[in-house]
């Protein structure tokens, strides 16, 4: 039986924490991961997205701790840029229908190998990232195939705290946050 570590998100396999100890950067997908996958359009050209403030705080805590974050997303939206700037993610690659080359660019720009990178995504367009990075996570409501191949299926849905959960687990694995979610 695998050893479990009790966390504020429930028991997590100790092997997950071992993998997370090697991660230096998280790549976030946006639609379906940091949002609930809804894109709200008005009668003209307006677009609306709902981001979760808990995800945002988790990202800011992660960055403040010295770990890194980036965004690779298939859609292009000024709302994504605005929200990522608010949470202090400066590295944003939008319109990436094939996310593999975007990963290559990110590895080069951050001087990291893929095994030092985690990704959180929710659908088949994230597959090129899942196949190459050291750790993959998906929200509880991700596409069934992505759930099958992810290193971990998180307890939260996309846009409802899944991003925060991964940030917290990474910080716990690095000894930067207590496993009960409280500060060190």
Question: Whose CA is closest to 68, among 118, 105, 133?
Answer: 118
pLDDT in tens, 57-78: 999 999 999 999 999 999 999 9
**Mean of the pLDDT values across residues 134-145?**
98
pLDDT interval class at 113 (50, 70, 90): very high
Mean pLDDT within 128-157: 98
The rounded distance, in Å, linking the Cα atoms of 118 and 120 is 7
pLDDT of 70 reads: 98
Query: Which pLDDT value is given to residue 169?
Result: 98
Q: Does the pLDDT at position 1 exceed 70? A: no
Give 2's pLDDT tier (boundaries 50, 70, 90).
Answer: confident
Is residue 79 predicted with pLDDT exceeding 80? yes
The pLDDT of residue 177: 97
Binding positions: 29, 31, 122
Query: Is 90 exceeded by the pLDDT of residue 91?
Result: yes
Among residues 62, 74, 90, 63, which one has the least CA distance to residue 30? Answer: 74
Domain 12-173 - what CATH class?
A: alpha beta
Q: What is the mean pLDDT of residues 80-92?
A: 98
Round to whole Å and give the CA distance between 139 and 105. Answer: 25
**Overall average pLDDT of the 12-25 stretch:** 97
The Cα 125–Cα 73 span in angstroms is 9
Domain ranges of the chain: 12-173
Binned at pLDDT 50, 70 and 90, residue 28 comes out as: very high
Query: Is pLDDT at 180 greater than 90 in this prediction?
Result: yes
Residues annotated as binding site for Mg(2+)?
A: 29, 122
Which of these, 128, 87, 88, 96, lies nearest to 31 by C-alpha position? 96
Average pLDDT over residues 144-160: 98
What is the pLDDT of the chain when averaged over all its residues?
Answer: 97
Mapping DSSP onto H, E and C, the string for the chain reads CCCEEEECCEEEEHHHHHHHCCCCEEEECCCCCCECCCCEECCCCCEECCECHHHHHHHHHHHHCCCEEEEECCCCCHHHHHHHHHCCCCCEECCCCCHHHHHHHHHHHHCCCHHHEEEECCCHHHHHHHCCCCEEEECCCCCHHHHHHCCEECCCCCCCCHHHHHHHHHHHHCCCECCCCCEC
Strand partners, 72: 93
Q: Residues comprising the binding site for substrate?
A: 31
Nearest to residue 80, comparing CAs of 92, 96, 98, 65?
A: 92
């Amino acid at each position: 039986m695998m050893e479990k570590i009790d966390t504020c998100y429930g028991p997590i396999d100790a092997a997950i924490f071992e993998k997370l100890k090697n991660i230096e950067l998280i790549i976030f997908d946006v639609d379906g991961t940091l949002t609930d996958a809804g894109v709200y359009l008005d009668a003209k050209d307006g677009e609306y997205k709902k981001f979760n403030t808990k995800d945002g705080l988790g990202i800011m805590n992660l960055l403040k701790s010295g770990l890194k974050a980036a965004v690779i997303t298939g859609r292009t939206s000024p709302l994504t840029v605005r929200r990522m700037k608010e949470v202090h993610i400066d590295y944003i690659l939008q319109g990436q229908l094939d996310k593999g080359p975007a990963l290559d660019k990110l590895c080069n720009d951050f001087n990291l190998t893929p095994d030092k990178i985690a990704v959180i995504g929710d659908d088949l367009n994230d597959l090129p990232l899942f196949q190459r990075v050291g750790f993959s996570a998906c929200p509880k409501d991700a596409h069934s195939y992505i759930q099958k191949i992810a290193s971990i299926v998180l307890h939260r849905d996309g846009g409802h705290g899944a991003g925060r959960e991964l940030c917290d687990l990474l910080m716990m694995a690095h000894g930067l946050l207590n496993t009960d979610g409280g500060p060190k």
